[in-house]
């Protein structure tokens, strides 16, 4: 389907020249909060602030700008869970080429709409990335368009590798670098660059547990929802990475919430995977500074709401309970007054008059409450029981 060889440092340096004035040199931020949790200095590389919202613009632009004019005129085709498609669409628009992007049917609408807004035609095909990839490649062969593989391409890997050159210049004191792995193009390019520029660094890759063998097949980290990295990229990573670890969706959700709340950075699931691994203490090494790459920020708004609620619940900041009150005027207000006296904010109240198990003369009530931490949740549950309300935790 696509052939690629591992780029060397000269190819990555040439890619950086192509990207001058096109891709942003994204900032790095130390985080006091994350450092305290991880018990080591934590630095974040905010590639979520890149053009189109992810690192993908680097590889896409380097690839498209390498094509001869007649190949560009014939059009470009790509398959993507979202970010690669946006990047190819943007680069094609900048270079004057028509673009067609094949995306899974359940791709986040934020990514679908953005891809269309950059001027590409979008085909929603297949339930997963692999089906979209096959459809895109078949279309490219049939129409004579240039197929832009998201990771099995030397130019693409070279473009992603420019992040490694930036890191080597931006951060002097660094022990470990943590990178997300989907198809492996990003981690391959960066690790090649870092092995040349900083040979002593520990480099760890992170995959989503949901897409690994035995997993559910689903992950909120759609940007790295690839069943198997490419053969070429896995060969590279086998030589350049010190370790590969996995994180599950709950760990990713916690990282998304923490990054949004404490660093004010909006990060998608794939972008938060490296931070999640670091926060869970999975990346190993010593106690020296660790850098997590936030690879993208294109999270669908509806998913962000779900993730924030789930993340807050896991952190003990969000409590959903079911109880019952006497079905007569003033009883619900009495319960809410008691909660107010405990300085608890009530986010949502839902009556369940016909709920199964609620005795005659009572009405079921489901409450969504904002709390301080897990200890506060337990204290509140005990307090409600002490007031005489049978309470069941739902979250």
CATH number at residue 363: 3.30.70.260
* More confident of the two residues 187 and 306: 187
CATH number of the domain within which 33 lies: 3.40.50.1100
Q: What is the DSSP string of 221-257?
A: -GGG--SS--HHHHHHHHHH-SEEEEE-HHHHHHHHH
Q: At residue 175, does pLDDT exceed 80?
A: yes
Q: At residue 1, does pLDDT exceed 50?
A: no
φ/ψ of 65, rounded to 5, equals -70, -10
Domain closes at, from 100, 122, 147:
147
Domain closes at, from 116, 147, 178:
147
Cβ-contact 111, 40 below 8 angstroms: no
Q: At residue 353, does pLDDT exceed 80?
A: no
Q: Which of the residue ranges 46-55, 199-208, 214-223 would you say has the lowest mean pLDDT?
A: 214-223
Same domain, 198 and 294: yes
Banded pLDDT at 355 (limits 50, 70, 90): low
Domain range for 387 is 316-393
Q: At residue 205, does pLDDT exceed 50?
A: yes
Mean pLDDT of 233-257: 95
State whether the Cα torsion 62-63-67-72 is positive or negative. Answer: negative
How does pLDDT run across 211-244, given as a tens digit for each residue? 777 777 789 998 888 877 888 999 999 999 999 9
Same domain, 363 and 296: no
Cβ-contact 158, 15 below 8 angstroms: yes
Same domain, 49 and 172: yes
Domain count, the chain: 3
Sheet with 146-147, edge to edge strand ranges = 121-124, 99-103, 76-79, 146-147
How does pLDDT run across 137-149, given as a tens digit for each residue? 999 999 999 999 9
Mean pLDDT score of the chain, rounded to an integer? 92
Q: Does a structural domain hold residue 243?
A: yes
What's residue 163's pLDDT? 98
Same domain, 180 and 199: yes
Q: Does a structural domain hold residue 167?
A: yes
Q: Does a structural domain hold residue 4?
A: no
Domain closes at, from 295, 310, 325:
310
Cβ-contact 276, 245 below 8 angstroms: no
Q: Which of the residue ranges 1-10, 157-166, 272-281 would you say has the lowest mean pLDDT?
A: 1-10
Q: Does a structural domain hold residue 142?
A: yes
Q: At residue 2, does pLDDT exceed 60?
A: no
How does pLDDT run across 51-110, given as a tens digit for each residue? 999 999 999 999 999 999 999 999 999 998 789 999 999 999 999 999 999 999 988 787
Secondary-structure percent of the chain, ordered helix, strand, coil, rounded to 5: 45, 20, 35
Q: What is the pTM of this model?
A: 0.87
Q: At residue 263, does pLDDT exceed 90?
A: yes
Same domain, 174 and 79: no
Same domain, 79 and 31: no
Nearby residues of 373 by Cβ (< 8 Å), 6 or more positions away: 315, 316, 317
How does pLDDT run across 181-191, given as a tens digit for each residue? 999 999 999 99
Cβ-contact 202, 277 below 8 angstroms: no
Q: At residue 388, does pLDDT exceed 80?
A: yes
């Amino acid at each position: 389907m696509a052939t690629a060889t591992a780029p060397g440092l000269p190819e990555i340096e040439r890619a950086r020249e192509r990207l001058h004035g096109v891709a942003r040199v994204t900032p790095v931020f130390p985080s006091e909060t994350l450092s305290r949790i991880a018990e080591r200095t934590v630095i974040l590389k905010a590639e979520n602030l890149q053009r189109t919202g992810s690192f993908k613009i680097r590889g896409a632009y380097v690839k498209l700008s390498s094509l001869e004019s007649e190949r560009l005129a014939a059009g470009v085709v790509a398959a993507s869970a979202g970010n690669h498609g946006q990047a190819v669409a943007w680069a094609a628009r900048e270079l004057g080429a028509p673009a067609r992007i094949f995306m899974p049917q359940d791709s986040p609408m934020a990514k679908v709409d953005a891809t269309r807004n950059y001027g590409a035609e979008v085909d929603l095909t297949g339930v997963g990335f692999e089906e979209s990839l096959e459809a895109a490649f078949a279309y490219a062969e049939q129409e004579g368009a240039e197929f832009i593989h998201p990771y099995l391409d030397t130019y693409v890997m070279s473009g992603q590798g420019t992040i490694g050159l930036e890191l080597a210049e931006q951060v002097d004191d660094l022990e470990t670098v943590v990178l997300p792995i989907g198809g492996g193009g990003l981690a391959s390019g960066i690790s090649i660059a870092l092995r040349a520029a900083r040979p002593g660094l520990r480099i760890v890759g992170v995959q989503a547990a949901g897409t690994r063998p035995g997993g559910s097949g689903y992950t909120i980290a759609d940007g790295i929802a690839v069943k198997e990295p490419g053969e070429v990229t896995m060969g590279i990573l086998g030589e350049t990475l010190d370790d590969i670890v996995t994180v599950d969706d709950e760990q990713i959700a916690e990282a998304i919430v923490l990054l949004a709340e404490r660093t004010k950075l909006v990060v998608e699931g794939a972008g938060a995977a490296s931070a999640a691994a670091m926060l869970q203490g999975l990346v190993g090494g010593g106690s020296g500074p660790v850098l997590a790459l936030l690879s993208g920020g294109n999270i669908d708004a509806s998913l962000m709401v779900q993730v924030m609620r789930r993340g807050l619940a896991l952190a003990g900041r969000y409590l959903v309970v079911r109880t019952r009150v006497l079905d007569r005027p003033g009883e619900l207000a009495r319960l809410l007054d008691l909660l107010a006296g405990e300085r608890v904010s009530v986010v949502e109240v839902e009556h369940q008059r016909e709920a199964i198990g609620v005795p005659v003369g009572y009405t079921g009530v489901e409450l969504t409450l904002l709390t301080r931490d897990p200890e506060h949740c337990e204290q509140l549950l005990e307090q409600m029981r002490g007031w005489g309300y049978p309470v069941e935790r739902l979250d």
